[in-house]
Amino acid sequence: MPITTLRAATIAARQPLRAAPRPVRRSKDSLPSLFPSIPKPEHPPRDTDARRVPPPPERHHTAAPQASLSPATPGPAPKSSGPACGPDGSVPLCADPRPAGLVGIARLAASSPKADEKRGTEYYLLPVRTVLNRCTSDRVPFEWTVNPYRGCEFGCRYCYARYTHEYMELPPEAFERQVFVKQNAGALFAADLVKRFPMRGAGGKSAEHIAIGTATDPYQPAEREFGATRAILEQIAARAGLSVSITTKSDQIVRDVALLQRIAARSELSINITVTTLRSRLARLLEPRAPRPDLRLAAVRRLRNAGLEVGVFAMPVLPGLTDRLADLEALARAARDAGARWLGGQVLFLMPSSLKIFLPFLEEEFPRLAHDYRRWYGRGGYGPEKYRQRIAQIFARLRAKYGLRSRPYAVAGDAGAPGEDGEACAQMRLPLATQPRLAVAPTPSRC
């Protein structure tokens, strides 16, 4: 074959390879993912809701890959040569993608995977080292606190604990929209007990009290999904000689009656059910997602019928809203009728972060009270001293009238003795105000 013919045939044979289109390299900017090195999956996981609203802009990272309770569809392998975040590159808890500039709990919160989203609230799994926290304040009667969740879906307008979200670089209004579940709460608490509360002999009692639910409600709706509180209670039931209290606004606690009976048989257990008002419409405004007052009182009755020590916390008392004498007396009478053993009352305490939420709420719903609250709480969170004293005296008289104690254990001054006036119930002095409140003429409420 002539050389020219052979060269032409060779060129023709190579021509299809030259004509083939070259692959187009996609820009990393076109891959909207938390991790730039992980491409977006071709199809979303089955449990991803296409109508889901993206997380509020306050979080310091973009939407995390759905850490759903059901297995997610794995995405393509990472193109980057950097360290992988998991076997399939889908686990968000790794060091590289954490937002720069954040430290401590804020850094952990910003990189916590989303576990679920319901009722407009996002749930994140927060990795922690312990769930038992020492309380060093001299205003409270306990040394240890347990809060299985950070944030609370009940969304009480006045909640003092909103400041805890600021530690995670989140605004106070995110307190009920972004709830963080402490991972492995039961196992961590078991380790905490071994370290802090060594086993005692039969009948031995611990002098250090453990208060559950001092900042966020342990029986908020998240408990149905994650069971962090029950996991902790299971560990308490396995021990003897502990001193424990539980504070909640939820009737969901009756789910654990049998477990609570096991705890009470081996340790000291007291349960505080919070009821701020009997007026359901007002309660719905103040505590948008908390159970109705009648459901909470029904829980008191159910727990008492099970032989458990239960009392009612009528707190906080809100000036001009829940402080009418007739309303407070009706609440004390209802607590007695439900079988409550004690009744405590304490005036509203407002942290600056809570004031940012509560004052706009007042301006919209109770504008006549907004100016007064600015005057009362503008310089401090405790409100006027004379008002606190007056409310303490009212509760002392109500306890004497209805045969209620001031706390789970009997003390001198109960049943209306003179020494009780002016002193708030010690067992319920959570990290709020310790003193009682000013005889402001109650402002009529529309509810």
pLDDT tens-digit map of 263-280: 999 999 999 999 999 999
Higher-confidence residue of 409 and 309: namely 309
| CATH classification for the domain delimited by 124-428, as one of 3.40.50.2020, 3.80.30.30, 3.40.50.1390, 3.40.190.10 | 3.80.30.30
Please tell me the predicted confidence (pLDDT) of residue 138: 64
Pairing mode, if any, of strands 243-248 and 114-118?
unpaired
Residues in the chain: 447
Give the pLDDT band of residue 141 (cuts 50, 70, 90).
Answer: low
Whole-model pTM: value is 0.71
- Torsion sign (Cα): 107, 109, 110, 112: positive
Neighbours of 423 (CB within 10 A): 17
Where in the chain are the domains? Answer: 124-428
Rounded distance between C-alpha atoms, residue 162 and residue 85, angstroms: 32
Please tell me the predicted confidence (pLDDT) of residue 435: 35
On whether the CB atoms of residues 97 and 153 are closer than 8 A, the answer is no
Please tell me the predicted confidence (pLDDT) of residue 83: 39
Average pLDDT, the chain: 76
Please tell me the predicted confidence (pLDDT) of residue 183: 93
Please tell me the predicted confidence (pLDDT) of residue 111: 84
Rounded distance between C-alpha atoms, residue 205 and residue 423, angstroms: 27
Dump the DSSP string for 182-236: ETTHHHHHHHHHHHHS----TT---SSEEEE-SSS-TTSTHHHHH-HHHHHHHHH
Among the listed ranges 96-110, 230-244, 331-345, which one has the minimum average pLDDT value? 96-110
Rounded distance between C-alpha atoms, residue 25 and residue 375, angstroms: 63
Higher-confidence residue of 298 and 415: namely 298
**Ranges of H-type helices in 67-184:** 104-110, 163-166
**Helices (runs of H) and strands (runs of E) counted in the chain:** 13, 11
Closest of 35, 159, 6 to residue 93, by C-alpha: 35
Rounded distance between C-alpha atoms, residue 72 and residue 258, angstroms: 36
Most confident of 25-39, 91-105, 313-327: 313-327
Rounded distance between C-alpha atoms, residue 55 and residue 48, angstroms: 14
Give the pLDDT band of residue 140 (cuts 50, 70, 90).
Answer: low
pLDDT at 440 over 70: no
Rounded distance between C-alpha atoms, residue 30 and residue 346, angstroms: 55
What does the DSSP 8-state code read for residue 101? T
Pairing mode, if any, of strands 209-212 and 144-146?
parallel
